[in-house]
Structure 1
């Protein structure tokens, strides 16, 4: 049995205004029993506080804090160029779930686990990443990129080739966590008496195909996963 019969995934670019509009339109049209988003508890709370650590504050957390700061700056830079702050599509999903009165689930891997894995990156990838990060703060015009979605797909292909370890940690392993959590949400809805659950999940474009593949191949099961839920909002 394919769990895709119960789960509709929206693949978004975290810095694309079109993604935000698609999220709102899809959730309101589908009217699901639950909404799931690619966040964990810490990032969900940070998003709601709308506060980011300074470089000085990040350095207090050592190497992990510095990595988190650099990744945040990358998203901020892209957000400036595309006219949208990172996370707006996730906020849109939260608001849509609230408007429908359905539960919201956070399905991504714990950020501390992710950062621990990133800190163990092999030397070759670490050096290459350091060199490429230097270009993050150079001026880039979104108008020169053509179709943003297509550029994003190409970027993922290149990222997998250049950073196999990081790709496994940031994409493949998180795909497995999110797919398992989505299956648990479906099964919990069934236990609550929903005969044909409908779940809309909002994830990054780079995760969509991988999660769909896992959901399509999964066998029906009855188990609970350690996802954290924000409850009905």
Structure 2
């Protein structure tokens, strides 16, 4: 069984993610993290230092040190996620940390399946044309001004038809979608397929924007369960999912 949980990195949904992981008893949990982000998220300063030393960067392993020499576009995006997470009463990466913590409690194997985020953001920025960069910058300013209300509206619009929203986004930001979504989907799908070869009950926790793309890249014959962000965000749908999982109605 493969369960894909689509999340939102700034929303307060960690408890819901943890509940699902704990009650599905996976033998493997795959998270949308690279090694550096994973070690920073769990507070392993020594591992962070080693990750950065492998890149030729000296660091003390602290959160500030982990951002040392990160591309400006990456740092700016990280600050935005921190602010939006605070406005939603959460912390950046709380969804991933909840999945990791719940998985470890079950002795499940934890797999970081994402590309190096700093390199990905740098590549995106370097390959963007002038107009796409301007649209991206304007969008950041608009998001900053709109704050939590703007994020809420975006999430509502996205949840009406996730796939259509991503395709509309692709028309506005072709480079961003190709680098941040398409190429990472291919990379993560390959990692997931590897994990599925050696594990029978796999949970994948990724940003919801990756879900449709991953489903197209994973063998169709695989038994799958998909839980979307819109379900995690809606109390009635979330209670339905919890009841099904608790009662084993989906088995």
TM-score scaled by structure 2?
A: 0.70
2:8 to 4, 13, 28: 13
**180-189 or 210-219, which deviates more:** 210-219
Native 8 Å contact 2:113 2:188 kept in 1: yes
Native 8 Å contact 2:71 2:118 kept in 1: no
SS at 2:145's partner residue? coil
Spell out, residue by residue over 1:88-147, the C-alpha distance to the aligned partner (whole angstroms, 9 max, x if none).
Answer: 011111110111011100001122431342122222211221222223432524499369
**102-111 or 154-163, which deviates more:** 154-163
Native 8 Å contact 2:74 2:122 kept in 1: no
Deviation of the 1:166 alpha carbon: 0.8
Q: How does 1:118-157 map to 2 (within 5 A)?
A: 118=124, 119-142=126-149, 145=152, 148=155, 150-151=157-158, 153=162, 156-157=166-167
- Hey, what does 2:217 align to over in structure 1? 214
Native 8 Å contact 1:176 1:214 kept in 2: yes
Spell out, residue by residue over 1:144-176, the C-alpha distance to the aligned partner (whole angstroms, 9 max, x if none).
Answer: 936945546486454322101110110111111
- Hey, what does 1:47 align to over in structure 2? 41
SS at 1:135's partner residue? helix
1:25 lines up with 2:28 in the alignment:
no
Native 8 Å contact 2:7 2:206 kept in 1: yes
TM-score scaled by structure 1?
A: 0.75
1:38 to 11, 27, 32: 32
Q: Is there any run of 5+ residues in structure 2 with no aligned partner, and where?
A: 45-61, 223-251
Q: How does 1:94-113 map to 2 (within 5 A)?
A: 94-113=100-119
Q: Is there any run of 5+ residues in structure 1 with no aligned partner, and where?
A: 1-5, 190-196, 220-233
Number of residue equivalences:
201
Deviation of the 1:25 alpha carbon: 1.5
Deviation of the 1:15 alpha carbon: 1.5
SS at 1:101's partner residue? coil
Q: Distance in 2 between matches of 1:124 and 1:143?
A: 23
**76-85 or 31-40, which deviates more:** 76-85
